[in-house]
Amino acid sequence: MAAGSASGVIVRLDTVDSTQTVAFALAERGAADRTVVVADQQAAGRGRRGRIWQAPPRTSLLASILVRSRLPQTLLATLSPTTAVATAEALSRVAPLAPRLKWPNDVLVGGRKIAGILLESRSIPSAEPILVIGVGINLGQREFPLELAGRATSVALETGHPVDRDTLLAALLEEFDTWRARLEGEGFGSVRERWKSLSDTIGRHVTVDGISGTATDLDGDGALLIDAGNGVRRVIAGEISTEMAPGDTHAARR
């Protein structure tokens, strides 16, 4: 079923392999910018770095947003932190939560992951680069598989109640449109500042891809800047591990 929204079409499906795959297939058939695919369940949900994204049926918001981008190539990757900011803002609008962001794009509550974002591109013949931004938000899970226990959480676990999926989707798309417009209109500056104010990473001692040091800033393209003691290093992608640094006042629980 496809329903029109203020800014685009929303395609609602029961079970799919991955909403990402469906969104790319729609893009190949000429679907418009900001077409959204939402599913109740995924048989082959994709996470970052080749991982599987699993969620029991109807427990989660599983959405993919098709973007035909007007951004310069150098800023395309910033759509990922932009969506992380939008997700955190949307969650805090619909539930009494204070989400934080872990570089590159995890959304945490109480140090546990509540949402993840996956930015993918495909070379589909088109005037503009085509990207699909996947957002998975844990809503109704009351427990997680052993391998995720202690590292994952949901709105239901944090607040005692799941939040209505359509309410959260509407908030997410509003926030996405707002932050994307800022990114496209003004560049990465205001998104970057908001990302940093929500960050659970900046100021921490981190290790990523063998580089250890204090995470000090986000670069203008979304790369993480790490003060490694012998100079500042840029990391453009990777899996971060964080630990308490001397004087670090954040609660570390992951």
Which residues are at the interface with ligand BTN (CB under 6 A)? 18-20, 42, 45-48, 51, 53, 62-64, 106, 116-118, 134-136
CA 97 centroid distance within chain = 16
Query: Three-state SS for 237?
Result: coil
Contact 206, 244 (CB under 8 A): no
Q: Which is nearer to ligand BTN, 102 or 194 (CB)?
A: 102
Q: Minimum CB separation from ligand BTN for residue 233, in Å?
A: 23
Query: Three-state SS for 136?
Result: strand
Query: Three-state SS for 228?
Result: coil
Q: Which is nearer to ligand BTN, 138 or 213 (CB)?
A: 138
Q: Which is nearer to ligand BTN, 169 or 218 (CB)?
A: 169
Q: Which is nearer to ligand BTN, 158 or 213 (CB)?
A: 158
Q: Minimum CB separation from ligand BTN for residue 64, in Å?
A: 5
Q: Which is nearer to ligand BTN, 42 or 141 (CB)?
A: 42
Query: Three-state SS for 38?
Result: strand
Q: Minimum CB separation from ligand BTN for residue 180, in Å?
A: 17
Q: Helices in the chain by DSSP H: which ranges?
A: 19-28, 79-94, 155-159, 165-186, 189-197
The closest residue (CB) to ligand BTN is 116
Q: Minimum CB separation from ligand BTN for residue 63, in Å?
A: 6
Q: Which is nearer to ligand BTN, 65 or 213 (CB)?
A: 65
Sheet of strand 100-102, all strands in order from the earlier edge strand to the far edge = 2-4, 9-16, 36-42, 60-68, 130-138, 112-121, 106-109, 100-102
Q: Minimum CB separation from ligand BTN for residue 56, in Å?
A: 13
Q: How many Å from the N-terminal Cα to the C-terminal Cα in the chain?
A: 39
E strands, 21-177, in order: 36-42, 60-68, 100-102, 106-109, 112-121, 130-138
Q: Minimum CB separation from ligand BTN for residue 107, in Å?
A: 9
